[in-house]
Structure 1
Amino acid sequence: MALALDRRPLGKTGIEVSAMGIGSSPFRHGAAADWVGLLEEAYDCGITYYDTARSYVNGEAVIAHLPPSVRDGLIIATKTGARGGPHCLRDLQASLRTMGRDHIDLWMTHMVETMREYELCTELGGFCDVAVAARTAGLVRATGASFHAPTEVILRAIEERAFDVVMFPFNVLGRETVFGAPISDYRDRLLPAARANGVGVVVMKVLAGGEMKHGAPRLGFLADPATGQDTLSGAIRYALMQPGIATAVLGIANRTELRRNLAAGIGVGPDPEACRTLEARVAVASPGECTRCAACLDVCPEGIEIPKVFRLLDQDRFFGMTGIARFKYARMQPDASACARCGKCAEVCPEDFDIARLLQLAHVRLTQATRPAGSRQTEEENTHG
């Protein structure tokens, strides 16, 4: 029997999804019809979960161009940026018209970042009220929210069962997510809570927002030369092996990426032991001083985003992601050279290291403003990789 992509239940929604999903953020280039062939091939190869949003150029429009057998066979998730009110309902109606469908499988509110934004969703007339009414009317099969938020915000949403599905960043790099919310926290707290409450989990940023595509040579242990799988393939397999994740969304821009991702994901199911092995190896490889707890984020008088500087420094010195780290550092204003050594960050930092000295080291290492070779993607375009 030929191996195929794993199929998994999406929480208690009654919806089954492929373990790997395709994200539409790369579809912003060209016209919607240009992406039909790639989406059809992905579906024919077993990828049934498709992620888009009202704000993604071409993302919804491409659905209307698909043959009915593909359009109706996909599990389609789309998002509104609204937290409630009339605009929220207008987005739902516009999404249905644009896609040429009579329902949406998973309708989500997009990029919830703070506790206050979450509370807006749950207040009277908020997204949750609108989404439940839409579900009752048959316009929506399940409700959800995508989060770029601290652990406590997402945990509250899960425990209150405000949504049928939650979506958040998850990747093997461990600390590479929202400041104040390490991925280890997401793994060890959110995934068990979601299982306990019957909430489906969709993850994104499996390749650190696409940053790993520009090279991570010191993570070579993620590769499997015997099967021809590279470091990116190993990072994809890690997300697919993680128990509790229904589907991992990857932004796929061409057939080469599609086939590479499929080769990595075919036949992969939950494997907690393999996950723990990879997590331990990454932890040993990246013994950075900063945990990205974000305690210092708003205390610097000069406005330096200290956790972001250290994130880029660690990518450079531990993972070999030098090109993308230097490129992003060159866009920081102010950068680490603005440090006045006032010591205010040290007063709130729970770790014991010389922050000012490490900022100086970061500036020295990252001041070569290098754009990754062959890259046309911006930081914003790497939404789901």
Structure 2
Amino acid sequence: MDKVILGKTGLEVNKNGFGALPIQRVSKKEAVYLLQKAFYNGINYFDTARAYSDSEEKMGAAFKYTRDMIIISTKSAAQTGEDMEKDLEESLRNLQTDYIDIYQFHNPAFCPRPGDGTGLYEAALRAKEAGKIRHIGITNHRIAVAKEAVETGLYETMQFPFSYLAAEQDVEIVEMCRRENMGFIAMKGLAGGLINDSACAYAYMNQPQFSHVAPIWGIQRESELDEFLSYQVCPPTLSGELQDKIEKDKKELTGDFCRGCGYCMPCPAGIEINNCARMSLMLRRAPSEAWLTEEWQAKMKKIEDCLHCGKCMNKCPYGLNTPDLLAKNYEDYKTFI
């Protein structure tokens, strides 16, 4: 079973991390079952966030009696130190614990620093001194903010989107973390659902140059968990058929495409941008029937109501021309119905 040391934290985690965003979509009973099955099969790192509705609560129910045997990270998207402290207290209650292993600033538009006027970093330091958090981390989708966070030396972990569709500038963030002995946690290892072969994703992450990378896989179904557990027993290797699939995906998917992160939302016109702007790809990479229902036809038709206000473009961490992507995807979608 492959292990990863999260940089200067010294925390040793399984190469399979459990991303707990999706469990907010299943019942508490189902979520607890999945979390405990993962734990009893060797997964020891679980990542959640205050923003993931009841994900923390479900995790707390699953690990109330095994807390000291796992590593938990959660996040706060608070904009002030006072609000972050409130988030932390709520997370501790939900998780039924008195400490968080890694407490992360959740995709801030800037890099929190001491003295920046927000009080965020100071609040994190106070919580660390009080023993409520053990390590301070940050998550981001923005290259500039991620680079700054690494360069400051203020953070012990970086959580950043990373998969075999990553651009060179993304890979540079991974390498910067290795050089600075900063734990690197890879989110969106399946590129928001665009990568449909988990063996390819796992094999890519398991290459020697990424030995410091700790992927967290978003898991909602037992079948998904079983796939990743099977790779602990028989790790897929990056050769032959898997390499060919990766190269094919890179040709099809690299460039200006929507990753589905949702940071452009909400849309003033009510458009579900994070799905509508990548509909063409989803139609071709998953059974198309699910995307052609009357419900989805109505959602896609809302693209006609786009205000061209530019708000989505301003919030997109990848700098995409979102209205243009929406229009192109809508025209393509109409050829399917």
TM-score range, shorter-chain basis? 0.7 to 0.9
**Is residue 61 of structure 2 the alignment partner of residue 65 of structure 1?**
yes
Distance 1:94 1:315, change over 3 A: closer
Q: TM-score, with normalisation over the residues of structure 1?
A: 0.66
Deviation at 1:264, TM superposition (A): 3.1
**Is residue 227 of structure 2 the alignment partner of residue 247 of structure 1?**
no
Deviation at 1:125, TM superposition (A): 4.8
Separation of aligned partners in 1, 2:142 and 2:112: 14
Alignment partner, residue 262 of structure 1: 229
Distance 1:275 1:256, change over 3 A: closer
2:120 maps to which of 127, 134, 138: 127
**Is residue 178 of structure 2 the alignment partner of residue 195 of structure 1?**
yes
**Is residue 11 of structure 2 the alignment partner of residue 15 of structure 1?**
yes
**Higher radius of gyration, 1 or 2:** 1
**Is residue 327 of structure 2 the alignment partner of residue 331 of structure 1?**
no
1:47 maps to which of 7, 27, 43: 43
Separation of aligned partners in 2, 1:269 and 1:234: 8
2:200 maps to which of 234, 240, 261: 234
Deviation at 1:120, TM superposition (A): 7.2
Alignment partner, residue 317 of structure 2: none
* Structure 2 counterpart of 1:135, one-letter code: K
* Structure 1 counterpart of 2:32, one-letter code: V
* Structure 1 counterpart of 2:34, one-letter code: L
CA contact (8 A) 1:203 1:245 kept: no
Separation of aligned partners in 2, 1:272 and 1:184: 21
1:94 maps to which of 67, 90, 94: 90
**Is residue 155 of structure 2 the alignment partner of residue 163 of structure 1?**
yes
Alignment partner, residue 204 of structure 1: 187
CA contact (8 A) 2:7 2:212 kept: no
Separation of aligned partners in 2, 1:31 and 1:155: 38
Separation of aligned partners in 1, 2:234 and 2:32: 26
Alignment partner, residue 366 of structure 1: 333
Alignment partner, residue 139 of structure 1: 132
Distance 1:104 1:233, change over 3 A: same
1:151 maps to which of 143, 158, 169: 143
CA contact (8 A) 2:183 2:212 kept: yes
Deviation at 1:46, TM superposition (A): 0.9
Secondary structure in structure 1 of the residue aligned to 2:74? strand
Structure 1: unaligned runs, 5 residues or longer: 175-182, 217-230, 298-303, 341-355, 371-385
Deviation at 1:97, TM superposition (A): 2.2
Distance 1:280 1:10, change over 3 A: same
CA contact (8 A) 2:194 2:281 kept: no
CA contact (8 A) 1:155 1:190 kept: yes
* Structure 2 counterpart of 1:261, one-letter code: F
Secondary structure in structure 2 of the residue aligned to 1:66? helix
Distance 1:265 1:282, change over 3 A: farther
CA contact (8 A) 2:49 2:55 kept: yes
Separation of aligned partners in 2, 1:270 and 1:326: 36
Deviation at 1:167, TM superposition (A): 0.8
* Structure 2 counterpart of 1:171, one-letter code: S
CA contact (8 A) 1:243 1:272 kept: no
Structure 2: unaligned runs, 5 residues or longer: 259-263, 265-270, 309-323
Separation of aligned partners in 2, 1:48 and 1:277: 32
Deviations 1:93-142 (A, max 9, x none): 22212222121101112132x33xx3478724532222122222221111
Secondary structure in structure 1 of the residue aligned to 2:191? coil
1:74 maps to which of 67, 70, 87: 70
Alignment partner, residue 347 of structure 1: none
Aligned length: 313
Separation of aligned partners in 1, 2:44 and 2:97: 16
CA contact (8 A) 2:128 2:135 kept: yes
Deviation at 1:256, TM superposition (A): 1.8
Distance 1:310 1:67, change over 3 A: closer
Deviations 1:153-175 (A, max 9, x none): 21111111232111122223x2x
Distance 1:122 1:211, change over 3 A: farther
CA contact (8 A) 1:151 1:185 kept: no
Q: TM-score, with normalisation over the residues of structure 2?
A: 0.74
